[in-house]
Amino acid sequence: MHFGSILPRSFYARPTVKVARDLLGKVLVHGTAAGRIVETEAYLGLGDRAAHSARGLTGRTRVIFGPPGHAYVYLIYGMYECLNLVAEPKGAAGCVLLRALEPLAGLDQMRARRPAARSLEALANGPGKLTLAMGITRTHNGTDVTRGGLVVREPVHAEPFRIEITTRIGIRESTELELRFALAGNRFVSR
DNA sequence: GGTAGGATGGGCT
DNA sequence: GCCCATCCTACCC
């Protein structure tokens, strides 16, 4: 299975909301595993208390303030890891959480990494499930996603889709902001 | 179909 | 010491 070209850094060096919307339909590739991005969330630099970067530059948020097109991976609830892609020009904060994938390639590998999943839909329909299925860990924190083993590519054939916009899932702060983007009606979306 | 409870460890106050 | 951008199991309907 092959895909299109790797998204260039200029794709990520834009407002976070635009990057979050435009990542829908693109293909996340790690080694032989690949999946279509069907759900994202934007985390902003200013006025977004739910974002890790809201408290400023720290050891953990260093990557978010760094150059765009890099992975920000962090541990959540002591057990799971979440993958974000850094947006905005260097020095500005902003990143996009990848919440769900439609598995496209390397399905056997994904199933082996997700023994708890009882269906194809359940392989990567949540941020923690996505990183498990794709084999992404904190060792990828800070890596460049415009080159190397973990990249985002254009799809081979882009089918038209409608985007559903809602509030973000699972957060305790800034719950009124509508910054979640998903393919409307897609069965691989987390909810 | 639905949800309550617990696992688990790093970041920050 | 207290969260926390989660997931799974057990249990109930």
- The pLDDT, as a whole number, for residue A89 is 98
Q: Is the pLDDT of residue A2 over 90?
A: no
Output the distance from A99 CA to B8 C1' rounded to whole Å: 21
| Residue A174 CB neighbour total at 10 angstroms | 17
Class of domain A9-181: alpha beta
Q: Say yes or no: Cβ of A184 under 7 A from any atom of strand B.
A: no
Q: Is the pLDDT of residue A56 over 90?
A: yes
Work out the burial of residue A120: count CB atoms within 10 Å of its CB; fewer than 13 is exposed, 13-18 middle, 19 or more buried.
middle
Q: Say yes or no: Cβ of A56 under 7 A from any atom of strand B.
A: no
Identify the band that residue A16 occupies on the pLDDT scale cut at 50, 70 and 90.
very high
User: What percent of chain A has a predicted confidence (pLDDT) above 70?
Assistant: 100
Domain boundaries, given as residue ranges, for chain A = 9-181
Q: What single letter denotes the amino acid at residue A10?
A: S
Identify the band that residue A114 occupies on the pLDDT scale cut at 50, 70 and 90.
very high
Q: Which of A62, A41, A44, A23 is nearest to A145 (CA)?
A: A23
Contact positions of strand B to protein Cβ (< 7 A): 7-13
Output the distance from A42 CA to B9 C1' rounded to whole Å: 25
Q: Say yes or no: Cβ of A76 under 7 A from any atom of strand B.
A: yes
Q: Is the pLDDT of residue A1 over 90?
A: no
Cβ–Cβ under 8 Å, residues A153 and A49: no
Q: Which residues put CB within 7 Å of chain C, the nucleic strand?
A: A 41, 43, 50-53, 72, 76-80, 82, 84, 95, 97, 114, 116-117, 122, 126-130, 168-173, 190
Cβ–Cβ under 8 Å, residues A125 and A98: no
Q: Say yes or no: Cβ of A40 under 7 A from any atom of strand B.
A: no
Q: Which of A185, A30, A190, A178 is nearest to A100 (CA)?
A: A190
DSSP A14-54: S-HHHHHHHTTT-EEEETTEEEEEEEEEEEESSS-TTSGGG
Q: Say yes or no: Cβ of A78 under 7 A from any atom of strand B.
A: yes
pLDDT tens for each residue of A131-153: 999 999 999 999 999 999 999 99
CA of A43: nearest nucleotide by C1' is C5
Helix locations, chain A, DSSP H: 9-12, 16-22, 107-113, 127-134
Identify the band that residue A179 occupies on the pLDDT scale cut at 50, 70 and 90.
very high
Q: Is the pLDDT of residue A99 over 90?
A: yes
Cβ–Cβ under 8 Å, residues A33 and A106: yes
- The pLDDT, as a whole number, for residue A188 is 97
How many CA atoms, within 13 angstroms, populate the side-chain half-sphere of residue A126? 13
Output the distance from A52 CA to B12 C1' rounded to whole Å: 11
Average pLDDT of chain A?
Answer: 97
Output the distance from A122 CA to B5 C1' rounded to whole Å: 22
Identify the band that residue A40 occupies on the pLDDT scale cut at 50, 70 and 90.
very high
